Amino acid sequence: MIKSTIRYCSMALLLSAGYAQAQDLYTPRNIRVAMEKGTRTANGAPGKKYWQNFGKYNISFRLDPAKRKVTGSETIQYANNSPDTLTKLAIRFVNNVHKPNAVRANYASDDYLTSGLKITSLKLNGQAYQVNSQDWGTVKLTDFAQKMLPGSISTLEISWEYPLSAESDRDGMLNESTFYCAYAYPRVSVYDDYNGWDLLEHNGRQEFYNDFNDYQVTITVPKNFVVWATGELQNAAEVLQQPILARFEKSKHTDAVIHVATAAEMKAGKVTAQHEWNSWKFKASYVPDFCFSVSDNYIWDASSVDLGSKRVSVQSSYVAGTPDFEQYIGWQQYCIEWFSNNWPGVTYPYPTMTAVQGFADMEYPMMINDSSVPDNFVDARQTADHEIAHTYFPFYMGINETRYGYMDEGWATALEYWIGNAEIGEEKNKELFKDSRVKRYIFDPSAEEDQPLITMTSQLNGLGYGNNAYIKAALSYIALRDYLGDMVFKKALHHYMDLWHGKHPTPWDFFYSINAGAGQNLNWFWKNWYFSNHYIDLKVDSFDQSGHNKKLTIANVGGFAVPFEVKITYADGSVETKHQTPAIWQQDEKRVIITWTSSKKVQNITLDGGVFMDYTAKDNSWQNVD
């Protein structure tokens, strides 16, 4: 009894401490309710009552390139794992962003606009429903007047068609007979434990939030069209001629670049089976989306990368003679191996990765759609790194990008920076990162740039949206790594990823799981970076040297807890550098005093934040005028 009582008291204290931690940060009411219901916790772990819904999608697509038309039919086995009885389903079709009356963040040309989705039939559990899909946006909450009980599985059957846009964005026509087909099927929107149905319209700028599902997909296209898609090709022997099939199979077991299909072979009709139409079959398990690309003129390279526990197939499809895409196989191999072994240091979770030459610079599960930058390989490779990094955030981690874009774009940007150090060297990469990322944020003094990071991405526009989601968030993660050190930072990151991969973490799950993984309460850091209007602006307030005693006072005008170097040049020409981690701002984020002793006279002091660029760098130095 005594031992049992001690254990109970310890657990009570632990839970109490966790709850106090949760209360220390602003927490929205819906997240607090989820904690109270036991689906989420104050220590960052999923609650004992955590749940999420799941679907098995069996989809058949038929793409007619001449008509730029996709027709499809699907059967969805939808598991209601929630404790709620559902009578409604929210059906999402992102491609309706192309409709003339769609809610859009950007201008749309005539070539971008289409008539959108046309539902030709819809059944739920065998019961047919009349649907007028003309008035549908990108998401439609539909009342089926059927009870979908907790723990039940419902069968949704949908047939549809839609036109592909002539202007390629994240989807559409890449050239007259090459198409990128993303968001090509109606899906059940997310029903989660903290918001219920996700009913936010897609506006073309924000990104996505999807459940994890299993996919078995058949894509039927005319002969001489090759299909690349999410997941693994199941029937290569049925759709490929020899020696194309042999090359493709060889590519799965070698590090060498295999030219699976050349431009001459594509043109001569020597690649695919010569039936009038071929049906390509793909399978992908527990992924948040599915997409595909088709072409009768793109060439096909492939290889693989050995991660020890498995080989990952890497492929690329592009216009013959495109210089940067000729490098993509090697770039993908390096990237997948580096991310697996360094940062985030989690083995690439999927069996394939395919890069398609397009215009979007956009990520999809196991696929990326990148524009060509033939005259700047460093820029092109940076884009590939960034998009492949999204494999982890949002896909592996199931992030709600629409509301919390900084939870994925910030990480992809930080990973892009860290791998860049390995690829081109720290000094060159630092300057590239500052030029391409940081400057457009820090030198823009407009109010929208200083909105708190915690602000929902769906509430932001313009550069305030982009810089919050990408660069400010990335800098927060870079600063956190500097504060914790590599060992503790990786331990904390892996704790978060172990808890939440394949699930749907919110920012508060991230904050508290990182706290737990690091073994310390980091709420001061989260408050500084996420719940403030801070920016980056340090200032040398004063410097005093009385004999051997040196006293430097630094004001943090902008407020962010940033790392920086104090570079001291002495009168004899010698230089000393003192690195300061964000810990220096933990007790007082407005002003700090740094003291040291030296027999040498200081001639000059400069504060250098590296990629943490200063808004007013002119006041970051002190010069001896004696």
Please report the pLDDT score of residue 15 as a whole number: 41
pLDDT in tens, 559-601: 999 999 999 999 999 999 999 999 999 998 899 999 999 999 9
Place of tokens 């403030």: 532
Cα 308 to chain centroid distance, Å, stands at 25
The reply to whether omega before 243 is within 30° of 0 (cis) is yes
Q: What was the pLDDT predicted at 21?
A: 64
pLDDT of residue 588: 86
pLDDT at 107: 92
Which residues, listed in sequence order, are joined to residue 566 by a DSSP beta bridge?
578, 607
pLDDT at 464: 86
The confidence score (pLDDT) of residue 236 equals: 98
Q: Is 345 left (phi over 0), alpha (psi -120 to 50) or beta?
A: left
Q: Closest Cα partner for 226 from 316, 330, 98?
A: 316
Q: What is the pLDDT of residues 529-569, one digit of tens each?
A: 999 999 999 999 999 999 999 999 999 999 999 999 999 99
* Model confidence pLDDT, tens digit, residues 216-228: 999 999 999 999 9
Q: Is the pLDDT of residue 351 over 50?
A: yes
pLDDT score, position 589? 83
How confident is the model at residue 10, as a pLDDT? 34
Strands (DSSP E) found in 65-202: 69-79, 86-92, 118-124, 127-128, 139-148, 153-163, 172-175, 178-181, 187-188, 191-192, 196-197
Q: How far apart are CA 299 and CA 324, in angstroms?
A: 14
| Stretch among 13-17, 290-294, 508-512 having the lowest mean pLDDT | 13-17
DSSP 374-387: TT-HHHHHHHHHHH
Q: Taking a C-beta distance cutoff of 8 angstroms, is the pair 508, 25 a contact? A: yes
470 to 408, 459, 497: CA distances (angstroms): 8, 15, 20
Give percent of the chain above pLDDT 70. Answer: 96
**Which residue reads 């697996």 in tokens?**
340
In tens, the pLDDT along 16-30 reads 445 456 558 999 999
pLDDT value of residue 18: 55
How high is the pLDDT of residue 20?
A: 54
Mean pLDDT, rounded, of the chain = 95
Q: For residue range 301-335, list pLDDT tens digits in order.
A: 999 999 999 999 999 999 999 999 999 999 999 99
Given a cut of 90, whether residue 411 has pLDDT beyond it is yes
Q: What is the pLDDT of residue 392?
A: 98
Share of the chain above pLDDT 90, in %: 95
For the question of whether the overall pTM of this predicted structure is more than 0.85, the answer is yes
- Per-residue confidence (pLDDT) for residue 23, from 0 to 100: 54
Peptide bond into 365 cis (omega under 30): no
Number of helices followed by number of strands (H, E) in the chain: 15, 30
Q: Tell me: the pLDDT tens digits for 30-86?
A: 999 999 999 999 999 999 999 999 999 999 999 999 999 999 999 999 999 999 999
- Tokens representing residue 596 in the block: 């040291």
Q: Between residues 491 and 103, which one has the greater pLDDT?
A: 491
- Residue position matching structure tokens 């949002």: 394
- Give the DSSP letter of residue 359: S
- Residue 626 — very low, low, confident or very high, per pLDDT cuts 50/70/90? confident
pLDDT score of 357: 98
Six-digit token string for 322 = 């495109």
